[in-house]
Amino acid sequence: MRNQSIAFIMAGRRQRRQRWILVTSLLAVLACILCCVMLLLGSTIYPVKDVIRALLGEQLKGVSFAINTIRLPRMLAGLFAGFAFGIAGYTFQTMLRNPLANPNVIGITSGSSAAAVFCITVLQSSGAVVSVASVIAGLATVILIYILSRGKSFSIGRLILVGIGIQAMLDAVISYLLLVSSEQDVPAALRWLTGSLNGSQMHELPPLVITMLIFTPIVIVLGKHLSILELGEQSASSLGVNTDWTRIALIVSSVFMIAIATATTGPIAFVSFLSGPIAKRLVGVGFSNVIPAGLVGVNLVLASDLIGQFAFEYRFPVGIITGLLGAPYLIFLLIRMNRKGEL
């Protein structure tokens, strides 16, 4: 009987591993396909061989400029930003054991956005200054939310409510900055706030790429503890997890990824909110969904950008398309949580 139980458990674990590998591989293949489509499609559709030659550095009239200056930076920005939003959103939702506890809802993205808009409209800054300000503001927002939500004991519900309040306050600050800024700065700020891959340039991408290379391995390594943190503080501590340091490392890593991604593309709505639940539904439980969530984020951003560019008579920023996808899910989630008495 014992051997049968062990064999049953091992078979289940093997089946879950195979499902994780299959789903992750399919998500990666889909991301590669979308990357190729973004390089091929545009106002002019170039032959595949010309696109490859341009990517390899050969100078082709019209093709090299369109591919290397416009389409490639746009594709890379969507790739790395989507991965960052997906991982960070999943980390917050899992660590805080609540699907509403993601950077979009609890105000972290708004903190980074407010700092970026201040730099654009008041300081007339761009590039590295905006990135640094976004990171500092994101970390400061996290600290402020944590301080204001502290009581006799840690409460996830209190943290979410405080975060929503902070987000409303920061959104008001952003609106004020837009009202008092000069007319020439407003379009750039509004385009940035919507979340857009338009105008992405290669020189803007190194901070995002470096951030992902540094912090993604940290989140992946600590990802095995996320499922344990879902069990609660006492259970995780009894299983040997240093909850304080693990939570701090995950929060800092996620905030850096969110802040730099936001500084690069703007706050692309609901990607961090949707990626985790979709990945969990596709992969199931039993293994870390950090990488699948990141890949879901990539696919959401790239697919939404293609839809925004080519599915309508007018071109829409990627943030508008992801907002249309995410808003109904947020309403559904709120209704379901309210029926369960979780709100």
Residue 30 lies in a domain: no
CATH code, domain carrying 173: 1.10.3470.10
Nearest 5°: phi and psi at 254? -65, -40
User: Is-contact 124 187, C-beta < 8 A?
Assistant: no
Task: Indicate the average pLDDT of the chain.
Answer: 81
pLDDT tens figures, 129-146: 777 887 788 888 888 887
Nearest Cα neighbor of 287 from 90, 32, 99 is 90
Q: Please name the residues in contact with 338: beta carbons below 8 A apart, sequence gap of 6 or more.
A: none
Residue 48 lies in a domain: no
Instruction: Output the pTM of the full model.
Output: 0.86
- Helical residues (DSSP H) of 181-289, grouped into ranges: 186-194, 206-229, 233-238, 243-265, 271-283
Residue 33 lies in a domain: no
Site of tokens 């069990």: 231
User: Is-contact 256 211, C-beta < 8 A?
Assistant: yes
Structural domain total, the chain:
1
Q: What percent of the chain has pLDDT over 90?
A: 17
Q: What is the pLDDT along the chain (343 residues), one digit of tens a residue?
A: 566 666 666 666 677 788 888 999 999 999 999 999 999 888 888 888 888 888 888 887 878 888 888 899 999 999 999 999 999 988 888 887 777 777 777 777 888 888 888 888 888 776 677 778 877 888 888 888 878 877 666 667 777 788 888 888 888 988 888 888 777 777 777 766 778 888 788 888 888 899 899 999 999 888 777 766 666 666 666 666 666 677 778 888 888 888 888 888 888 878 888 888 888 888 877 677 889 999 999 999 999 999 998 888 888 888 888 888 887 877 877 777 667 655 5
Tally Cβ neighbours within 10 Å of residue 104.
Answer: 25
Q: What does the alpha-carbon distance between residue 290 and residue 279 come to, in Å, rounded to a whole number? A: 9
Residue 240 lies in a domain: yes
Residue 132 lies in a domain: yes
C-alpha distances out from residue 144 to 6, 150, 163, 225, 248, Å: 48, 10, 9, 25, 14
Which residue type occupies 80?
F
Residue 31 lies in a domain: no
pLDDT tens figures, 276-326: 888 888 887 767 788 999 999 999 999 999 999 888 888 888 888 888 888
Q: Structural domain of residue 250, as residue ranges? A: 78-339
User: Is-contact 160 104, C-beta < 8 A?
Assistant: no
Residue 29 lies in a domain: no
Residue 25 lies in a domain: no
